[in-house]
């Protein structure tokens, strides 16, 4: 099961597309109050309510870290929260600055790559003032006080502007969308493959993490996972299965089955969503989300098959 608090780290249900327990952003409290990711712009009220429910005031936030700037479920409320917390700054991979300055860049890309019923769900975020943006580098550390230190790792497995944030005090990781969608309350788990994602970078990073795994993970989708080593191992085995099964498709002369293999695996996992008794969520995942994600993975896999890890 997921948790909503681990010591001085607090998860907020950002209610992506109106679905409970689908996407999360976080507060971490030292002497300063920092935020990691911000939710979608049309769900700002839910995010603000989550901040208040944990006993904090939005104006007390001093730093916002964005794990990737391309997707509004992570960066969509940056500008709005900066308006409410005027002394705060947003910290991001330099590659992501253009998306904060002009959120329409990715919105136009979504219109090209997603089915209309999905891209029409997205609301355009407000642009972020350039003076509020601070670039981070790999290895940067931020001391929030009271023993709370955050360390940045720049890594582009999910999007070009990607990063993860190590919570050194709790031996935990704000892991971006590293492990996909994992809903621990019902068992739904799919690996995510949006355009511009790098599956093999992700695969190798998980392999590396398993050598010295964090104790806990702060997931983008969804919540706090306490047994990070076991979950990372499960995810690595899942991705290894994907590689092996899709190799078989190509070796048998049926490359078109790569997409079908991943789609069908994810559709099978989606049956677990019935445990939530949410037909709308099931319909969204199976009709709008899973098919294009499977196609993007297939395109990447087929273009890079010769570079697969041995």
Domain-located, residue 310: no
- Same domain? 119 vs 185: yes
- Same domain? 134 vs 253: no
- Same domain? 210 vs 118: yes
pLDDT at 305 over 90: no
Answer whether the bond into residue 24 is a cis peptide, omega within 30°.
no
- Same domain? 223 vs 239: no
Strand 223-225 relative to strand 216-219: parallel, antiparallel, unpaired? Answer: antiparallel
Domain-located, residue 14: yes
192-219 average pLDDT score: 97
The first and second tokens of residue 70, run together, are 């391309």
- Same domain? 119 vs 211: yes
Name the domain count of the chain.
2
- Same domain? 205 vs 266: no
- Same domain? 218 vs 283: no
| Domain-ending residue, one of 227, 251, 275 | 227
**DSSP characters over 65-132:** E-S-SS-HHHHTTHHHHHHHSTT-EEEE-GGGHHHHH-THHHHHHHHHHS-HHHHTT--PPPPPPGGG
26-48 average pLDDT score: 98
Give per-residue pLDDT as tens, 47-77: 999 999 999 999 999 999 999 999 999 999 9
136 falls in which pLDDT band (50, 70, 90)?
A: very high
pLDDT at 308: 44
- Same domain? 71 vs 187: yes
Range of the domain at 248: 235-304
| Domain-ending residue, one of 227, 243, 265 | 227
With a CB cutoff of 8 Å and minimum separation 6, the contacts of 226 are 3, 6, 215, 216
Provide the whole-model pTM. Answer: 0.96
pLDDT at 306: 52
CA–CA–CA angle 281, 282, 288 (5° rounding): 85
- Same domain? 223 vs 251: no
- Same domain? 165 vs 33: yes
pLDDT at 8 over 60: yes
- Same domain? 14 vs 148: yes
What mean pLDDT is reported for the chain?
Answer: 96
26-47 average pLDDT score: 98
25-30 average pLDDT score: 98
Calpha distance 118→240 (Å, rounded): 29
In our burial notation (b when 16+ CB lie closer than 10 A, e otherwise), range 137-148 reads: eeebebebeeeb
Give per-residue pLDDT as tens, 249-278: 999 999 999 999 999 999 999 999 999 999
- Same domain? 123 vs 78: yes
Q: What is the CA radius of gyration of the chain?
A: 19
């Amino acid at each position: 099961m997921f948790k909503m608090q681990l010591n001085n780290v607090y998860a907020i249900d950002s209610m992506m597309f109106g679905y409970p327990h689908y996407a999360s952003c976080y507060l971490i409290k030292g002497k300063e109050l920092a935020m990691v990711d911000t939710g979608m712009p049309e769900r700002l009220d839910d995010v603000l309510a989550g901040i208040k429910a944990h006993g904090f005031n939005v104006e007390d936030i001093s730093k916002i870290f964005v794990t990737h700037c391309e997707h509004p479920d992570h960066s969509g409320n940056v500008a709005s929260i900066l308006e409410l917390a005027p002394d705060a700054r947003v910290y991001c991979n330099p590659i992501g600055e253009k998306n904060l300055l002009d959120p329409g860049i990715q919105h136009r890309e979504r219109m090209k790559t997603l089915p209309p019923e999905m891209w029409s769900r997205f609301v355009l975020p407000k642009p972020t003032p350039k003076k509020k943006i601070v670039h981070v580098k790999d290895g940067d550390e931020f001391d929030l006080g009271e023993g709370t230190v955050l360390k940045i790792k720049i890594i582009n497995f999910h999007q070009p502007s990607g990063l993860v944030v190590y919570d050194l005090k709790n031996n935990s990781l704000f892991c971006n969308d590293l492990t996909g969608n994992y809903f621990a309350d019902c068992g739904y788990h799919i690996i995510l493959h949006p355009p511009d994602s790098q599956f093999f970078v992700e695969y190798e990073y998980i392999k590396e993490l398993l050598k010295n795994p964090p104790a806990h993970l702060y997931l983008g989708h969804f919540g706090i996972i306490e047994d990070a080593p076991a979950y990372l191992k499960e995810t690595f085995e899942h991705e290894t299965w994907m590689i092996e099964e899709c190799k078989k498709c190509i070796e048998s002369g049926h490359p078109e089955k790569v997409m079908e293999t991943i789609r069908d695996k994810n559709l099978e996992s989606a049956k677990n969503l019935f445990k939530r008794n949410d037909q709308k969520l099931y319909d969204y995942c199976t009709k709008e989300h899973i098919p294009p994600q499977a196609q993007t993975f297939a395109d990447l896999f087929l273009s890079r098959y010769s570079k697969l890890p041995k």
